[in-house]
């Protein structure tokens, strides 16, 4: 683990770990939520003591997992609209727990975290905690300016110590549409634990557990079943693939509001025999190891964790040319990028990979090497730890 000389000096001066509050909407299943859990679990406990608070009442799947591991995950019971009563409630918690740094994730936690931190400075013997915000880029499709945010965000940024985005694309959106100052935004790429995706898997047994023969080619996607993920385009592209390579299955991993609509579409395309809706799964690393190709058809992405995980498992990619995807995928080297409205192009690239095992292996290995060098969990956690130490109020 590497830290700068300044950070090491801070470490030696500190008598106790920094108290960092991770402030989130909730911790249901999702890429941003998983990254918060990864930070909490992987950060050096000698340097940072973490607590987690959810604005909403339900802590969600990942929140429950953290609670089982002994972490404190609290809820704040936010009411609809702007819940002004939540601000003094959160401010009291900041003072009682002597929080040094708030790390807020997404817009609402940013707002409440900032207002509560400003209020907390009036508490006796308590200094206002520093505020770091990570924007994970969930809500930017289609990009549009919202007058309230254009007016409010310069004020928010004035009292925010560091703004983080997960891709250069998300940074450009914040500057262009959200009226944040570019100089205050730092890009920190998402990272994954590569070890989880390189373990040996009994491919034959795994396929049998899903009712698939060993020689079956598999296209897979791991994603929320939501309109922004554009699964319908993948189903239409897959119909073209199945017509040319009938012994191919599409595995759809994830759950969400579009589930029934997608099942209906699969029926209408007469693909029910070739498509399996697996729902939310705990065995994603194992499933990825049986994929021949990973597809991602989103209209918008900040920095897809599922995409990184597939590359970490040495699976070649066909993804849409949106958001942070081009920052992850070297087109023609680790996978292929296509337009989000061109199902024929998607089908052609899927077929190209399915029909060329040597190309699949070459691209899969290149993708894994790219993740190892640029998108590791170790790098991400170290960067955030360095940031916490830099903004420490203990000095």
Nearby residues of 135 by Cβ (< 8 Å), 6 or more positions away: 106, 107, 110, 163, 164, 165, 166, 170, 174, 302
Distance CA 39, CA 52 (A): 11
β 73-75/185-187 pair status: unpaired
**Tokens of residue 170, six digits:** 């998300």
Where are any strands of DSSP class E within 136-194? 162-165, 185-187
What pLDDT, on a 0 to 100 scale, did the predictor assign at position 29? Answer: 82
Whole-Å CA distances, 115 to 112, 125, 156 = 5, 19, 9
Rounded to whole angstroms, how far apart are CA atoms 229 and 181?
Answer: 29
Radius of gyration of the chain (CA): 22
Q: What pLDDT does residue 147 have? A: 83
166, 188 contact by CB (below 8 A): yes
Q: How many CB atoms lie within 10 A of CB 332?
A: 9
Q: What is the pLDDT of residue 144?
A: 73
Question: Using CA atoms, how far apart are residues 139 and 94, in angstroms rounded to an integer?
Answer: 28
Per-residue pLDDT of the chain (395 residues; tens, 9 = 90+): 555 545 555 555 556 899 999 999 999 888 889 999 999 999 999 999 999 999 998 898 899 999 999 999 999 999 999 999 999 999 999 999 999 999 999 999 999 999 999 998 886 667 889 999 999 975 556 667 788 888 889 889 999 999 999 999 999 999 998 899 999 999 999 999 999 998 899 999 999 999 999 999 999 999 999 999 999 999 999 999 999 999 999 999 999 999 999 999 999 999 999 999 999 999 999 999 999 999 999 999 999 999 999 999 999 999 999 999 999 999 999 999 999 999 999 999 999 999 999 999 999 999 999 999 999 999 999 999 999 999 885 44
Q: Would you kindly state where each structural domain of the chain is located, as residue ranges?
A: 5-191+376-390, 194-374
Contact 295, 337 (CB under 8 A): no
H/E stretch holding 12: helix 5-13
Nearest-CA neighbor of 133 among 188, 79, 68? 188
Structure-token pair, residue 47: 């340097």
Q: Which of 293, 358, 356, 296 is nearest to 328 (CA)?
A: 296
CA dist 211 and 217 (Å) reads 13
Q: Which CATH class is domain 5-191+376-390?
A: alpha beta
- Residues 330/308, Cβ–Cβ less than 8 Å: no
SS3 3: coil
Q: Pull the structure tokens for residue 312.
A: 């970490």
What is the 3-state secondary structure of 243-277? HHCCCEEEEEECCCCCHHHHHHHHHHCCCCCCEEE
Domain 194-374 has CATH 3.40.50.970: no
Q: Measured between alpha carbons, how far apart are the two ends of the chain, in Å?
A: 22
Two tokens at 85?
Answer: 């009563």
């Amino acid at each position: 683990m590497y830290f700068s000389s300044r950070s090491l000096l801070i470490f030696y001066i500190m008598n106790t770990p920094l108290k960092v509050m991770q402030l989130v909407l909730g911790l249901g299943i999702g890429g941003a939520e998983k990254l918060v859990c990864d930070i909490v679990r992987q950060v050096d406990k000698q340097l940072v003591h973490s607590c987690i608070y959810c604005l909403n009442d339900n802590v969600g799947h990942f929140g429950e997992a953290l609670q089982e591991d002994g972490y404190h995950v609290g809820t704040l019971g936010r009411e609809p609209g702007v819940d002004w009563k939540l601000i003094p409630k959160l401010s009291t918690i900041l003072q009682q727990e002597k929080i040094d740094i708030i790390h807020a994730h997404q817009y609402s936690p940013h707002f409440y975290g900032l207002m509560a931190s400003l209020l907390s400075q009036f508490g006796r013997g308590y200094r206002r905690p520093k505020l770091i915000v990570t924007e994970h880029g969930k809500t930017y499709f289609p990009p549009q300016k919202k007058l309230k945010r254009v007016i409010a965000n310069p004020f928010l940024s004035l009292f925010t110590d560091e703004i983080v985005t997960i891709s250069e694309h998300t940074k450009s959106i914040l500057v262009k549409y959200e009226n944040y100052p570019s100089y205050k935004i730092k890009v920190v790429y998402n990272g994954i634990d590569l070890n989880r995706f390189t373990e040996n898997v009994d491919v034959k047994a795994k396929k049998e557990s899903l009712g698939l023969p060993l020689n079956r080619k598999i296209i897979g996607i791991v994603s929320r079943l939501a309109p922004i993920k554009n699964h319908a385009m993948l189903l239409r592209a897959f119909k073209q693939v199945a017509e040319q390579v009938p012994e191919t299955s599409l595995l759809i991993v994830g759950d969400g509001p579009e589930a029934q609509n997608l099942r209906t579409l699969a029926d209408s395309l007469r693909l029910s025999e070739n498509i399996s809706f697996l729902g939310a799964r705990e065995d994603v690393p194992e499933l990825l190891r049986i994929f021949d190709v990973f597809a991602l058809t989103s209209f918008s992405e900040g920095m897809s964790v599922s995409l990184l995980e597939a590359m970490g498992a040495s699976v070649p990619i066909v993804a849409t040319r949106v958001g942070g995807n081009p920052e992850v995928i070297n087109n023609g080297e680790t996978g292929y990028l296509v337009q989000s409205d061109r199902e024929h192009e998607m089908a052609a690239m899927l077929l190209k990979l399915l029909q060329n095992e040597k190309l699949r292996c070459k691209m899969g290995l290149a993708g894994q090497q790219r993740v190892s060098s640029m998108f590791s969990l170790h790098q991400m956690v170290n960067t955030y730890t360095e940031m916490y130490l830099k903004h420490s109020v203990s000095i």
